[in-house]
């Protein structure tokens, strides 16, 4: 086994073997800081949130060879993973475990690539640093805090599972909730049923109906579903399309309403995620127009991130990534690149894995990308 192979697989194994689900990244931050110091790099840790009770502190790790911290290029990825933790295992071809592809494969390959370039004399002080952040899988809090490091790189190279494809960009996000309330399923007028006067005297004026009456008084959950289906959003029959990033998509991920199977629900809601390719404001305007002023319908805008358009380099296969990354949380002007080993199709899955061959190839890919940008 070559020196590169051994160093890469050993580092990757150590990283995947650390349980660092979001908000518990501390063990991985400590390991990376120690590993990079052992390589002779200057290491800074940036506090994102302090320890509180049983919850450990959360820290980003920023490191660079030499003493010049305001580097031209930053290699970046995240160290948190989604639950549940899945232990490391391997066979002849693949490495399995939580984070093996998303995104500890990128972290390991970036460090090995950068350190080999430094030791070969192909990088000078101030050329390159690495930045590994917490919280990407939840709210991007680590990358948001990294804006306070006081560095102004020309290039940001973000590692995510792209199958060794250099991304032309990735889609943005609108997450929002539709809440529907109204008269359906409530006593908004006197009941016209036998014994209604006696029944009304004993019950609140506005309360849920028994499930024996849905055909007469309707269900707010049933009434709401057509209103929150994208096929019924008149203005959203054709979602926006961008020439570079492709189609905007909409997914109704969660429907909820009601209190019991034998009670007609008076409230329904849907949590919806749109993958945006134009702009957040353009799509939100279309959503508002589609809903209009329907009584009892409330839209709650939650998370938004604009789509990202990345730079490309000749000699790499390119495509658009359909997921979101930390790039949009980095605020200083920079040319951004998105590249890494592994497939998003198995990220977050019970069988998450990465090919050893692809992991090794990504080291060469990162080297080629770094030297092309720095022209060294």
Domain of residue 77, CATH code: 3.40.630.10
Let me know whether 145 and 286 are in one domain: no
Let me know whether 295 and 325 are in one domain: no
Tell me if 312 sits within 8 A of 168, measured CB to CB. yes
Let me know whether 346 and 369 are in one domain: yes
Let me know whether 132 and 240 are in one domain: no
What pLDDT score was predicted for residue 341? 98
CA distance 146 to 197: 66
**Of 72, 86, 79, 98, whose CA–CA distance to 141 is shortest?**
79
Q: SS3 of 172, please? A: strand
Which one of 305, 325, 341 terminates a domain? 305
Tell me if 160 sits within 8 A of 105, measured CB to CB. no
What pLDDT score was predicted for residue 291? 81
Q: Among positive and negative, which fits the CA dihedral 355, 359, 360, 361?
A: positive
Please check whether residue 214 lies inside any domain of the structure: no
Give the pLDDT of the chain (376 residues) as one tens digit per residue.
Answer: 687 899 999 999 999 999 999 999 999 999 999 999 999 999 999 999 999 999 999 999 999 999 999 999 999 999 999 999 999 999 999 999 999 999 999 999 999 999 999 999 999 999 999 999 999 999 999 999 999 999 999 999 999 999 999 999 999 999 999 888 854 444 333 334 344 444 444 444 444 444 444 444 444 444 444 444 444 454 465 789 999 999 998 888 888 887 777 776 778 888 999 999 999 999 999 888 888 787 778 899 998 989 999 999 999 999 999 899 999 999 988 999 999 999 999 999 999 999 999 999 999 999 999 999 999 5
Residue numbers of the domain that contains 245:
173-188+222-305
CA distance 216 to 338: 56
Please check whether residue 199 lies inside any domain of the structure: no
Which one of 279, 305, 331 terminates a domain? 305
What pLDDT score was predicted for residue 175? 93
Cα angle, residue 351 at apex, residues 169 and 168 outer, rounded to 5°: 10
Let me know whether 119 and 57 are in one domain: yes
**Of 294, 302, 303, 286, whose CA–CA distance to 180 is shortest?**
294
- The DSSP line for 225-288 is HHHHSGGG-GGGSS--EETTTEE-EEEEEEEEE-S-TTB--SEEEEEEEEEESS-HHHHHHHHH
Q: State yes or no: cis peptide before 84, omega within 30 of 0.
A: yes
Q: How many Å from the N-terminal Cα to the C-terminal Cα in the chain?
A: 28
Q: State yes or no: cis peptide before 261, omega within 30 of 0.
A: no
Residue 241 CA to its chain's centroid (Å): 21
pTM metric for this prediction: 0.83
Active site residues: 136
What pLDDT score was predicted for residue 303? 87
Please check whether residue 212 lies inside any domain of the structure: no
CA distance 106 to 272: 30
Structure tokens at 181: 């309330």
Let me know whether 60 and 129 are in one domain: yes
Which one of 305, 327, 351 terminates a domain? 305
């Amino acid at each position: 086994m070559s020196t590169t192979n051994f160093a890469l697989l050993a580092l990757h194994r150590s990283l995947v073997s650390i349980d660092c689900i979001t908000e518990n990244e501390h063990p991985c931050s400590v390991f990376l800081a120690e590993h990079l110091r052992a390589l002779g790099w200057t290491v800074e840790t940036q506090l994102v949130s302090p320890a509180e009770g049983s919850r450990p502190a959360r820290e980003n790790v920023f490191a660079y060879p030499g003493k010049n911290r305001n580097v031209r290029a930053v290699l970046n990825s995240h160290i948190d993973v989604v639950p549940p933790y899945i232990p490391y295992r391997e066979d002849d071809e693949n490495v399995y475990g939580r984070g093996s592809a998303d995104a500890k494969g990128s972290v390991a390959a970036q460090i090995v690539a950068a350190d080999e370039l430094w030791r070969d004399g192909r990088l000078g002080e101030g050329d390159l640093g690495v930045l590994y952040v917490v919280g990407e899988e939840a709210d991007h809090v680590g990358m948001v805090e990294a804006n306070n490091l006081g560095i102004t790189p020309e290039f940001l190279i973000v590692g995510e599972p792209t199958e060794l494809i250099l991304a032309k960009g990735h889609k943005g996000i609108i997450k929002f909730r539709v809440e529907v309330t109204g008269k359906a399923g409530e006593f908004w007028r006197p009941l016209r049923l036998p014994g209604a006067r006696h029944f009304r005297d004993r019950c609140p004026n506005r309360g849920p109906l028994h499930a024996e009456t849905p055909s007469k008084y309707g269900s707010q959950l049933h009434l709401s579903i057509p209103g929150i289906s994208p096929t019924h959003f008149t203005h959203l029959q054709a979602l926006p399309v961008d020439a570079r990033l492709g189609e905007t998509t909409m997914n109704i991920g969660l429907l909820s309403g009601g209190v019991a199977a034998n009670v007609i629900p008076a409230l329904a809601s849907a949590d919806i995620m749109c993958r945006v390719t134009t702009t957040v404001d353009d799509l939100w305007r279309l959503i508002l127009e589609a809903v209009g002023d329907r009584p009892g319908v409330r839209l709650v805008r939650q998370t938004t991130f604009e789509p990202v358009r990345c730079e490309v380099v000749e000699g790499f296969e390119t495509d658009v990534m359909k997921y979101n990354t930390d790039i949009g949380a980095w605020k200083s002007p920079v040319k951004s690149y998105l590249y890494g080993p592994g497939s998003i199709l198995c990220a977050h899955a019970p069988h998450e894995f990465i090919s050893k061959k692809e992991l090794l190839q990504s080291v060469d890919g990162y080297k080629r990308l770094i030297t092309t940008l720095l022209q060294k």
